[in-house]
């Protein structure tokens, strides 16, 4: 069993690295033929960012991680509820793995958070809560986008709406035919609690605000005043760009998505790539730091990671 699992993981890793190479090669071709940049310009812009802006962005990203973990924990039903450290640890480990291979990270997140009823939520219930958490997150982001407008960037908003309706219809059908889907939908009952949803939405807005502020301060370090509406469009473009994991750690797609978003806002593409590169590194380091800290706490105080008493 262990051998098969290891082989499967290595196979996924090899495919991920291969896709990364293909994506980077494709991006290089696009850049050479499309927007011409000098790599030295990107390196110069990275040096111009300075430690102050990078440190401030890092603090904001760390705070964003705290908000994301707390929001996920708040959506679990009170009886039985996994403890905050347990949810935070599962979230961080899953996100860290997701930086390299998407699907195993999501599965690991559920396995680490879920317990054994009645002392903790089942895996199906945990999946339901994770789905609600992501839906709240995206709903807040696209609501803000609808408020500020798409500007000169053409977002496939209608396509997103169509996909959403198709997904809801598929879930409704599968719920009647699959016991597993029915249990997952049952685990989404936190979506019926207005107060719980409102609290999650507030934390989602706060987490997105931290991300918007981080990119704004990085842009300011290069002398560019990135407005709120443009920053929202950059974040939306980033999330659309990394929605399908084409490479390990979304390497390349992450940078180009932010770079194009900032370029559409009026920044030079080289400066946009520099900001995207720094921000990507900050995100990976922040989730690694959170995982490391929680792993130490888990080793020193394992009781804190047990489900809360009913």
Q: Identify the pLDDT of residue 33.
A: 44
Q: Identify the pLDDT of residue 304.
A: 83
Q: Identify the pLDDT of residue 308.
A: 56
Kindly report the backbone phi and psi dihedral angles of residue 265, in degrees, each rounded to the nearest multiple of 5, phi listed first: -80, -5
Q: Identify the pLDDT of residue 239.
A: 84
Reading the block at residue 115, the tokens are: 């317990």
> Is 299 strand, coil or helix?
helix
| Residue numbers of the chain with a pLDDT score lower than 50 | 1-5, 9, 15-34, 170-171, 173-175, 309-310
239 is in which domain, residue-wise? 51-305
Q: Identify the pLDDT of residue 186.
A: 61
State the Cα–Cα distance between residues 274 and 49, nearest whole angstrom: 9
Q: Could you tell me if residue 62 is inside a domain?
A: yes
Alpha carbon of 74 to those of 110, 122, 202: distances in Å?
Answer: 16, 16, 12
Q: How many residues does the chain have?
A: 310
Kindly report the backbone phi and psi dihedral angles of residue 155, in degrees, each rounded to the nearest multiple of 5, phi listed first: -95, 140
Q: Could you tell me if residue 298 is inside a domain?
A: yes
Q: Could you tell me if residue 23 is inside a domain?
A: no
Contact yes or no for 212/159 (Cβ under 8 A)? no
Q: Could you tell me if residue 216 is inside a domain?
A: yes
Longest Cα–Cα distance of the chain, Å, equals 61
Q: Could you tell me if residue 181 is inside a domain?
A: yes
Q: Identify the pLDDT of residue 32.
A: 42
Q: Could you tell me if residue 244 is inside a domain?
A: yes
Q: Could you tell me if residue 296 is inside a domain?
A: yes
Reading the block at residue 125, the tokens are: 């219930």
Q: Work out how many domains the chain is built from and give that number.
A: 1
Q: Identify the pLDDT of residue 306.
A: 76
Q: Could you tell me if residue 12 is inside a domain?
A: no
């Amino acid at each position: 069993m262990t051998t098969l699992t290891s082989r499967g993981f290595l196979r996924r890793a090899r495919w991920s690295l291969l896709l990364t190479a293909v994506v980077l090669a494709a991006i290089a071709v696009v850049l050479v033929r499309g927007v011409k940049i000098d790599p030295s310009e990107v390196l110069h812009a990275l040096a111009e960012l300075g430690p102050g802006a990078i440190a401030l962005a890092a603090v904001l990203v760390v705070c964003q991680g705290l908000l994301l973990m707390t929001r996920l924990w708040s959506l679990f039903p009170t009886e039985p509820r996994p403890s905050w450290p347990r949810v935070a640890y599962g979230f961080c480990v899953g996100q860290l793995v997701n930086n390299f291979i998407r699907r195993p990270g999501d599965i690991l997140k559920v396995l680490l958070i879920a317990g054994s009823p009645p002392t903790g939520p089942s895996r199906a219930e945990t999946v339901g809560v994770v789905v609600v958490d992501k839906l709240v997150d995206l709903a807040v982001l696209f609501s803000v986008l609808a408020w500020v407008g798409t500007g000169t960037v053409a977002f496939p908003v209608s396509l997103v709406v169509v996909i959403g309706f198709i997904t809801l219809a598929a879930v409704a059908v599968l719920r009647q035919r699959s016991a597993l889907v029915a249990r997952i939908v049952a685990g989404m009952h936190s979506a019926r609690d207005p107060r719980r949803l409102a609290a999650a939405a507030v934390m989602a807005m706060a987490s997105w605000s931290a991300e918007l502020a981080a990119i704004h301060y990085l842009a300011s370090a290069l002398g560019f005043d990135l407005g709120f509406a443009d920053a929202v469009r950059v974040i939306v473009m980033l999330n659309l760009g990394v929605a399908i994991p084409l490479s390990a750690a979304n390497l390349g797609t992450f940078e180009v998505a932010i770079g194009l978003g900032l370029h559409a806002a009026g920044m030079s593409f080289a400066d946009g790539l520099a900001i995207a590169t720094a921000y990507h590194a900050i995100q990976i380091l922040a989730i690694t730091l959170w995982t490391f800290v929680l792993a130490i706490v888990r080793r020193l105080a394992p009781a804190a990671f047990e489900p809360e008493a009913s």
